[in-house]
């Protein structure tokens, strides 16, 4: 059972780990600031585990289909590779982080391969679309792309329903990712701060919370935060 977690810390080669760590470096920060450090760890590991489950499910369905219908059985989207082939890498969790980042800050400008300019949302959903096509048509690394899909789906869901992280990982602390602070951060990033609330003032308050804690806020600052976090 522990392999659903530990496989995420193994990589095929240096390029594999370098790409994953660069992606986490560039996009992980915004997700961590939204969820908090401990919730971010839970989020990341759950996305990786979801990737392993997706890989296992598609490979298991392929093997089951061959057991029932014969070795010639084929179906688009299933993985017919050797079940002994290991799945390694952090990229399922990384895809979860990418999808979360695309939700929190969709218009953030990025350079694909450090050359092609685009929005973060375009990059994230474009890579997800490629992964889906790779699995359907059995392209190279279809198994890895299946894990990417599982991680991306988990990231898409958990960033929209962070209370599940709070309930499942209470032993990690009492930070509530659905708090007004988290909601205000998203409102500022997405440009959805309510009318009458100064976005610059909200940013100042959020910086103060980061530096000195939420208990350092005045009553006026708390009222501003409440207004900014209303949906």
Q: What is the pLDDT of residue 211?
A: 65
| Nearest CA among 99, 91, 102, 71 for reference residue 141 | 91
Do 151 and 51 share a structural domain?
yes
Q: What is the pLDDT of residue 95?
A: 95
Q: What is the pLDDT of residue 35?
A: 84
Q: Dihedral of CA 133/45/229/118: which sign?
A: negative
* Beta-bridge partner residues of 111: 117
Do 111 and 25 share a structural domain?
yes
Q: What is the pLDDT of residue 193?
A: 56
Q: What is the pLDDT of residue 229?
A: 64
For helices 14-35 and 91-104, the axis angle rounded to 10 degrees is 40
Do 184 and 167 share a structural domain?
no
Q: Can you give the pLDDT of all 231 residues of the chain as single tens digits?
A: 778 888 888 887 888 888 889 989 988 988 988 888 888 989 999 999 999 999 999 999 999 999 999 989 999 989 888 877 778 778 899 999 999 999 988 998 988 877 889 999 999 999 999 999 999 999 888 888 999 999 999 999 999 888 778 655 555 444 444 455 666 666 655 555 555 666 778 778 877 776 666 667 788 887 877 777 664
Do 125 and 183 share a structural domain?
no
Domain hosting 26: range is 3-171
CB 89 within 8 A of CB 151: no
Do 211 and 193 share a structural domain?
yes
Do 217 and 140 share a structural domain?
no
Q: Dihedral of CA 129/149/35/208: which sign?
A: negative
Do 206 and 111 share a structural domain?
no
| Nearest CA among 92, 152, 94 for reference residue 128 | 152
Do 184 and 159 share a structural domain?
no
Q: What is the pLDDT of residue 187?
A: 62
Q: What tokens appear for 45 in the block?
A: 């590991």
Do 145 and 44 share a structural domain?
yes
Q: What is the CATH number of the domain that holds 14?
A: 1.20.1540
Q: Which residue has the tokens 């560039």?
A: 26
Please give the tally of structural domains in the chain.
2
DSSP letter at 84 equals T
Do 187 and 153 share a structural domain?
no
Do 36 and 57 share a structural domain?
yes
């Amino acid at each position: 059972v522990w392999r659903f977690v530990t496989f995420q810390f193994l990589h095929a080669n240096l390029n594999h780990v370098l790409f994953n760590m660069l992606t986490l470096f560039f996009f992980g920060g915004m997700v961590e600031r939204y969820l908090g450090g401990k919730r971010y760890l839970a989020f990341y590991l759950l996305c990786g585990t979801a990737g392993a489950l997706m890989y296992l499910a598609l490979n298991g369905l392929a093997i089951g289909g061959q057991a029932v219908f014969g070795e010639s059985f084929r179906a688009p989207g299933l993985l017919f590779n050797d079940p002994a082939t290991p799945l390694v890498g952090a990229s399922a969790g990384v895809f979860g982080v990418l999808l979360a980042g695309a939700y929190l800050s969709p218009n953030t400008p990025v350079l694909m391969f450090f050359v092609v300019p685009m929005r973060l949302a375009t990059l994230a959903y474009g890579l997800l679309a490629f992964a889906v096509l790779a699995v359907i048509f059995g392209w190279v690394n279809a198994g890895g792309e299946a894990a990417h899909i599982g991680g991306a789906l988990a990231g898409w869901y958990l960033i929209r329903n962070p209370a599940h992280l709070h309930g499942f990982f209470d032993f990690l602390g009492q930070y509530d990712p659905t708090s007004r602070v988290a909601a205000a951060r998203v409102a500022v990033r997405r440009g959805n701060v309510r009318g009458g609330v100064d976005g610059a003032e909200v940013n100042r308050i959020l910086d103060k919370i980061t530096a000195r804690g939420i208990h350092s806020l005045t009553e006026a600052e708390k009222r501003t935060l409440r207004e900014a976090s209303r949906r």
